[in-house]
Amino acid sequence: MNVDSARIERSPFSQATVSSPKPVVTDYEARKKVLQKGFSPEAVPPNLDAIVIGSGLGGLSVAVVLAKAGKWVLVLEQHSKAGGCCHTFQEKGFEFDTGLHYVGQMHKTGMTRVIMDQLTDGQLDWVKLEDPYDFITLGDKEYQMVSGKKAFVEQLERQFPEEKEAIKEYMRLSKLVVRHTPLVAILKMIPFWLSTFLIRRGIVHWISPVFRLLHTSHSKITEQLTTNQDLRAVFGYLFYGVTPKNSSFYVNALMIHHYKRGAWYPRGGASEIPFHMIPIIERSGGALLTRARVSQILVSETGAAIGVSVQKGPNSAVKIYAPVVISDAGIFNTFEKMVPPHIRSKPEIQTILNLVQHSMGCFLVFVGLRGTKEELGLKSSSYWIYKHNNLDSMMAKYAALPREEVINNLDMMFVTFPSAKDPTYQQRHPGHSCMTIFTMARYDWFEGWSGGRARNRGADYDAFKMEIAHQLLEVVLAKFPQLRDKVDYMEAASPLSHQYYLATPLGDTFGTDPDLRRFDPLVMATIRAKTPIPNLYLTGQDVFSFGVIGAVHGGLICASAVLGRILYLDLALLKKKLKTEGHKKET
């Protein structure tokens, strides 16, 4: 299936496939049949049109779209469970998420909702979280974020009454970013020579100011808007491992806008997302197989991708062929580990690798609590806790710490209660609740134990990891003292955990580092779904942007490249149709 033969005349999207969500499937064996279908050569479908490496949302999204276009797609997942950061795990009667905490813009007929309904046939029931959906602690002060286009701004103005002009201007720039984001995506879809011509001649800046905002520091813009350090921090409170002074204003403004209408969570937990995407792939003749580690991308004598080699034991491999290979394994895994050395050394591949670097890893603490949401006084809200309001200095200091100083300098964290967000949690885990604490972490703090095996890296590793976990927990318990005697279970995940379970090279939580350089227009145009290797495509976070929805858009951009069709036009038409129908029903 080359691009020309893959072109389709009709949109793969249709509201006819979307139906009301069915009750959450709680039977473990039924879920296992979907999410944990192990690899065997016999399970590989014949006459494949495409192979997708990795079942994160980038891989699943492109696979579903291709399946809806009538293609036979095989998704190969190295872990025992499908879903990437959307997989969940259970321990001691508790269930924990591993990556998805909440999603914005899930209101009816919103573009993100339309996309997710199409990718799941409408089977995800999105639960809106209570207001305030986010609490932001800056030292001894606390700020709140509430949902609603007007209410969001009004709440900010109530908290910063002297900063109405700054807030107004930030919202204006945020709206501009959202409206012009399709132009950024187009840079990755039009011919590369045209993108580079428009960028190098400065024409893109005449087309839209969004291209200037792409590679302008968030701190630089906010410092021009206000001298209020608390407000600057609130504008950039959603941390992702990059200081505000080295992050793109475009990205931060996009995230703030993403949650302006509020935050949502899938009923039944994060694993509901892959659980409802995989059957769509299977209905079209495809499959998703787990425990299938791709060791190499196979190439022809002419240098085109023709399939993959799946490791089947220490000395054997299974070769699977398809006319299109799509990697959701990330730029570094794909180009540094999977393609043959003679391909890897090509200047065009090295150029891409030299444009980006690994993102910072993260550290997660999973806490099991005895009691229900009501008994423990838990909210579905999330909490961002900072020791003070200068995020630039705080994050820069933290990122430069030697390992021995980490434990005494845990100055920022994110706290969420998945069990309080999911109305079905008590049905599935009665009398139990859970909490997740998240902060950033450098890989080299843990690298000395990388040679060990998961769950068996040694007592010193466990001691270091759990000491960090306990320090983070103490900060949280000071905020929620009613939980102090309710902790029944605690485990922690370091960048080594992510390296093992998600096959990220250095525990890179957000793929390539989402710093200013990453969002330079020329870099954005260069890193695209279509790679310099014929028939090999990239999907996921590295294609467009990081995070859950960033990965989904990476999948849509990739599917557009493979199918030779700008799928966003199809989605825009569908969204307009749904909105019109909604207005007719109201009248």
pLDDT, residue 586, reads 58
- Write out the DSSP string of 467-517: HHHHHHHHHHHHH-GGGTT-EEEEEEE-HHHHHHHH--TT--TTSB--STG
Reading the block at residue 160, the tokens are: 């910063």
Would you say 248 and 30 are in contact if contact means Cβ atoms under 8 Å apart?
no
Please check whether residues 175 and 287 belong to one and the same domain: no
Of 265, 298, 319, which residue is a domain's last? Answer: 265
Per-residue confidence of the chain (587 residues) as pLDDT tens digits?
544 445 677 899 999 999 999 999 999 999 999 999 999 999 999 999 999 999 999 999 999 999 999 999 999 999 999 999 999 999 999 999 988 999 999 998 889 999 999 999 999 999 999 999 999 999 999 999 999 999 999 999 999 999 999 999 999 999 999 999 999 999 999 999 999 999 999 999 999 999 999 999 999 999 999 999 999 999 999 989 999 999 999 999 999 999 999 999 999 999 999 999 999 999 999 999 999 999 999 999 999 999 999 998 778 899 999 999 999 999 999 999 999 999 999 999 999 999 999 999 999 999 999 999 999 999 999 999 999 999 999 999 999 999 999 999 999 999 999 999 999 999 999 999 999 999 999 999 999 999 888 888 999 999 999 999 999 999 999 999 999 999 999 999 999 999 999 999 999 989 999 999 999 999 999 999 999 999 999 999 999 999 999 999 999 999 999 999 999 999 999 999 988 877 666 55
Please check whether residues 374 and 342 belong to one and the same domain: no
- For 444, the domain range is 358-502
d(CA 149, CA 367): 34
- Write out the DSSP string of 246-304: GSBHHHHHHHHHHTTT-EEEETT-TTHHHHHHHHHHHHTT-EEEBS--EEEEEE-TTS-
Q: Is residue 133 part of a domain?
A: no
Which amino acid is located at 41 in the chain?
P
- Write out the DSSP string of 367-414: EEEES-HHHHT--S-EEEEESSS-HHHHHHHHHT--GGGSTT---EEE
Specify the number of domains making up the chain: 3
Backbone dihedral angles phi then psi of residue 102, each to the nearest 5 degrees: -170, 165
Please check whether residues 388 and 488 belong to one and the same domain: yes
pLDDT, residue 584, reads 65
d(CA 10, CA 558): 17
Would you say 426 and 410 are in contact if contact means Cβ atoms under 8 Å apart?
no
416 contacts: CB under 8 Å, gap ≥ 6: 101, 102, 382, 383, 435, 436, 438
Q: Which residue has the tokens 């902790």?
A: 487
Q: Is residue 164 part of a domain?
A: yes
Would you say 18 and 122 are in contact if contact means Cβ atoms under 8 Å apart?
yes
Please check whether residues 274 and 168 belong to one and the same domain: no
Would you say 210 and 182 are in contact if contact means Cβ atoms under 8 Å apart?
no
Q: Is residue 486 part of a domain?
A: yes
Please check whether residues 273 and 298 belong to one and the same domain: yes
CATH of the domain at 338: 3.50.50.60
Would you say 441 and 362 are in contact if contact means Cβ atoms under 8 Å apart?
yes
Please check whether residues 446 and 394 belong to one and the same domain: yes
Please check whether residues 327 and 392 belong to one and the same domain: no
Reading the block at residue 369, the tokens are: 């609590």
Would you say 76 and 297 are in contact if contact means Cβ atoms under 8 Å apart?
no
Going by C-alpha positions, the residue among 83, 57, 193, 121 that lies closest to residue 543 is 57
d(CA 476, CA 378): 13
Going by C-alpha positions, the residue among 64, 18, 556 that lies closest to residue 288 is 64
Q: Is residue 369 part of a domain?
A: yes
Q: Is residue 139 part of a domain?
A: no
- CB-CB neighbours of 421 under 10 Å: 28
Of 215, 230, 265, which residue is a domain's last? Answer: 265
| Helical pair 164-187 and 218-225, crossing angle rounded to 10 deg | 150
- CB-CB neighbours of 40 under 10 Å: 12
Check residue 335 and report its DSSP letter: I
Q: Is residue 519 part of a domain?
A: no
pTM over 0.85: yes
Please check whether residues 294 and 321 belong to one and the same domain: yes
pLDDT, residue 5, reads 47
Kindly list the distances between the CA atom of residue 356 and the CA atoms of 110, 113, 335, 409, 518, in Å, as whole numbers in the listed order.
32, 31, 12, 28, 6
Of 244, 265, 286, which residue is a domain's last? Answer: 265
Please check whether residues 413 and 470 belong to one and the same domain: yes
d(CA 62, CA 43): 21
Please check whether residues 246 and 162 belong to one and the same domain: yes
458 contacts: CB under 8 Å, gap ≥ 6: 449, 452
d(CA 312, CA 526): 35
Q: Is residue 129 part of a domain?
A: no
Going by C-alpha positions, the residue among 449, 406, 328 that lies closest to residue 62 is 328
Residue 181's Cβ-side half-sphere holds a number of Cα atoms within 13 Å equal to 20
Going by C-alpha positions, the residue among 433, 432, 434, 427 that lies closest to residue 26 is 427
418 contacts: CB under 8 Å, gap ≥ 6: 95, 96, 97, 101, 265, 269, 425, 434, 435, 436
Please check whether residues 350 and 385 belong to one and the same domain: no
Reading the block at residue 426, the tokens are: 């008590």
d(CA 278, CA 70): 15
d(CA 244, CA 456): 37
pLDDT, residue 6, reads 59
Please check whether residues 561 and 447 belong to one and the same domain: no
pLDDT, residue 108, reads 87
Q: Is residue 197 part of a domain?
A: no
Would you say 555 and 545 are in contact if contact means Cβ atoms under 8 Å apart?
no
Check residue 70 and report its DSSP letter: T
